[in-house]
Amino acid sequence: MAVAEADGAPDPTVRNLLEQESLKWVFVGGKGGVGKTTCSSILSILLASARQSVLVISTDPAHNLSDAFQQRFTKFPTLVRGFNNLYAMEIDPKVENDDFANEGMEGFLSELTNAIPGVDEAMSFAEMLKLVQTMDYSVVVFDTAPTGHTLRLLQFPATLEKGLEKMMALKNKFGGLLNQATRLFGLGDELNEDAMLGRLEGMRDVIEQVNRQFKDPDLTTFVCVCIPEFLSLYETERLVQELAKFEIDAHNIIINQVLFDEEAVESKLLKARIKMQQKYVDQFHMLYDDFNITKLPLLPEEVCGVQALQNFSRHFLTPYKSALKRGTVEELEQRVSILKSALQEAESELDRLRKGKQVA
């Protein structure tokens, strides 16, 4: 669990994840737009330095892994440039009809997916997990879709169970008719209900096996990413509660886009923002006092490309400290320098405007 600091509080970094050598599955999730992809990319980079082989998978239909690494990824694992043990892939958690067209299962699947919402995603996820298990990576990092989709993903075993029940009902109701139709149209055994049932059973076995691993805290953990705002706090609490319900371990929270109070900030708007953020950061610490809570600074630029990700990764291992502290000689010198520069710019702009008026 959480590594304790000298004062008894958990370590405010992700070192515990790197030190947990038994970890096989790491889920990264949270509300949309909080920086999940950046965090999962950096976690995979850090894990690659500690583990034999790492695979990072995006299950979000709006894929951003390619943007984060500035490299094109597909539904097949691709080696990330600059690494020899880090692979990435982007999958759409939906069944593609082409996958089943050759097996004469289109009509059946359409009936099944209409009857049970989410079963198409469940079957696709089962296929993907089956693929991943054959590849034997040391650890797999999931960059998940926003919270609602993630929770559906955790419900897949139950969803597939419903699918099997529906399949059995269809078999009992139309079994003989289905077999006659397949023979009549010369489809052979492709549409045989036993073959379909076997396919679904196989998927359920994979999902159940993986589900048992998901519930093992030695093998699986969930990293919640958020920002210091009310809606994100609310969504994180919902996510933590749901994870507890599904018996999935979670003891790391990453608070992204934090403005630090000691920064040399002059803007009234930013000062108000810092005050608002601090209120929610305090609430996170109060609600999750036994979690490893890592705070990441808001940057003036996007974190894109392997080099930028590696540079930013230091804040995951060492608590962020601003370069200049308010009230020091260095900070006052920098403020004077910034104000002089701003004054020169304003004077230049004023001169341009005056000359423009004289010309007119």
Residues noted as catalytic = 60
Q: Which of 53, 48, 39, 141 is nearest to 90 (CA)?
A: 141
Residue 162: other Cβ atoms inside 10 A: 17
204 by Cβ neighbours in 10 Å (0-12 / 13-18 / 19+) ranks as buried
Q: Is 38 helix (H, G, I), strand (E, B) or coil?
A: helix
Residues 261, 295: Cα–Cα separation, whole Å:
13
- Coil, helix or strand at residue 46: helix
C-alpha neighbours within 13 Å on the C-beta side of residue 278: 9
Q: Which residues of 21-53 are buried (b: 16+ CB within 10 A; e: fewer)?
A: eebbbbbbbbbeebbbbbbbbbbbbbbbeebeb
Alpha-carbon distance 268 to 343, whole Å?
Answer: 18
DSSP string, 109-144: HHHHHHHSTTHHHHHHHHHHHHHHHHH--SEEEEEP
Binding-site residues:
31-38, 229, 256
Is there a contact between 17 and 23 (Cβ–Cβ < 8 Å)?
Answer: yes
Opening angle at CA 153, ends 147 and 159, nearest 5: 130
| Residues of the binding site for ATP | 31-38, 229, 256
Classify 28 as helix, strand or coil: strand
Q: Which two tokens stand for residue 7?
A: 């004062």
Dig out the tokens for 318 from the structure: 């060492």
- Whose CA is closest to 225, among 240, 212, 203, 215? 240
Is beta strand 220-226 parallel, antiparallel or unpaired with respect to 139-143? unpaired
